[in-house]
Amino acid sequence: KQLPPPDSNISECSDLSDTYEEEKPTPTNQETGLDAVDGVQPELQRNDQESELTRMNIMSEYFGNGIKDSLDQLLGPIPVDAKTLFRNKHFLLTCTVPSKGIAATAKQFSSTPFIKQHIRRQIEAGGGKVYQFFEDVPKNKYKQCKLIAPRPSTTAMYVQCLASDIVAVSHEWIIQCCQVLMIVDHKPFVLPAGWSFLENRFIEWSSGRAKERRTSVTPFTSVCINVASLCKDFNDFWSRVCKLAGGTVRLIKTESDITDNLTGYLLTDQAFPEEIKIKAARTGLLVVSTVWVVQCLILGRVCHPNSNEKLTQIYQEEDY
């Protein structure tokens, strides 16, 4: 049973002088962006070299010596003379290691190998735009953007797209479009928002009243989230995620930042000083982990931290 979230004093967190703004919108590390931050699954095939190695392994596994035509048949053709196929469409790509948790056996997604390099070539040959980092996508392109993935996950890319409602679609959709050289309806290929261990099932991406769907795409509207970490990447990434999902964010740097009139939640990591967490809890802030953020995004509503012990614990791969 879900407990109601605590009352929020929005006026305290609405003061722009208190809110946290990222210093730079660009990635802090040009190799990974912020995809290696604590609380997310690791991103695979981060560059063409890693993607090519994956492709070679797939060729060896499926075809022995490897036949290019057979690989294209498996992964879908690179469209020729089809520069308008994905014109004015924007894409992000993500993949990670298969889940080892209960979600791995709950539903079978695509069995077609996911090769970023090949998918990028398909999209670009069709006139589409592929971004390497979430930060690169202009905000006015969010509605035209799709996240291409083999299955739901909790990579940094997937989490950010969930927070900004950039819909995740199976790469099977790209393959079908390239096979018929026309855009087919993407809706049958939309991936779930993710696995809810609170409800022990996948939650649909779209929002609505049906129990299978997310309650809202902006679950943190009117919610104050105080982010506390000694790691700048943690602060940058999770502040962005919470704000994309409608939240108001304040950065907690020292014990003096914890005042009696603060309300809402304290989002922190394992390395943050324990005495500050204790003081925050005494003032009424509910201490939560990144697992809480992800579960709120998946369900589309604010979950009470006491509803499951995992919501206050450090992310574990088996959670998903």
**Domain map of the chain by residue range?**
48-97+113-190, 210-311
pLDDT at 17: 32
Residue pair 319/308 in contact (Cβ under 8 Å)? The answer is: no
pLDDT at 30: 43
How large is the average pLDDT for residues 216-220?
96
Q: Domain spanning 210-311: which CATH class is it, in words? A: alpha beta
pLDDT at 102: 65
Rounded Cα gap, residues 57 and 45, in angstroms: 13
How large is the average pLDDT for residues 282-294?
95
Lowest mean pLDDT among 46-55, 107-116, 203-212: 46-55
Three-state secondary structure of the chain: CCCCCCCCCHHHHHCCCCECCCCCCCCCCCCCCCCCCCCCECCCCCCHHHHHHHHHHHHHHHHCCCCHHHHHHHHCCCCCCCCCCCCCCEEEECCCCCCCCCHHHHCCCCCCCCCHHHHHHHHHHCCCEEECCHHHCCHHHHHHEEEEECCCCCEHHHHHHHHHCCCEEEHHHHHHHHHHCCCCCCHHHECCCEEECCCCEEEEEEECCCCCEECCCCCCCCCEEEEECCCHHHHHHHHHHHHHCCCEEEECCCHHHCCCCCCCEEEECCCCCHHHHHHHHHCCCEEECHHHHHHHHHHCCCCCHHHCHHHHCCCCHHHC
- Res. 23 pLDDT band, cuts 50 70 90: very low
Lowest mean pLDDT among 86-90, 169-173, 235-239, 314-318: 314-318
How large is the average pLDDT for residues 128-139?
96
Rounded Cα gap, residues 298 and 137, in angstroms: 22
pLDDT at 162: 97
Tell me which residue has tokens 């208190």: 18
Tell me which residue has tokens 């990974």: 32
How large is the average pLDDT for residues 160-180?
97
pLDDT at 208: 82
Whether 274 has a pLDDT exceeding 90, the answer reads yes
Type of residue found at 10: I
Whether 6 has a pLDDT exceeding 60, the answer reads no
Whether 144 has a pLDDT exceeding 80, the answer reads yes
For residue 235, how far is the Cα from the chain centroid? 16
How large is the average pLDDT for residues 253-267?
92
pLDDT at 155: 96
pLDDT digits (tens, 9 = 90+) for 186-204: 999 999 999 999 999 999 9
Equal CATH topology for 48-97+113-190 and 210-311: yes
Rounded Cα gap, residues 247 and 114, in angstroms: 33
pLDDT at 238: 97
Whether 154 has a pLDDT exceeding 80, the answer reads yes
- Res. 314 pLDDT band, cuts 50 70 90: confident
Of the CATH numbers 3.40.50.10190, 3.40.50.970, 3.40.50.300, 3.40.50.11810, which one belongs to the domain with range 48-97+113-190?
3.40.50.10190
pLDDT at 217: 94
Encoding tokens for residue 45?
């095939």
Rounded Cα gap, residues 249 and 241, in angstroms: 10
Q: If you average pLDDT over every residue of the chain, what do you get?
A: 85
Whether 226 has a pLDDT exceeding 90, the answer reads yes
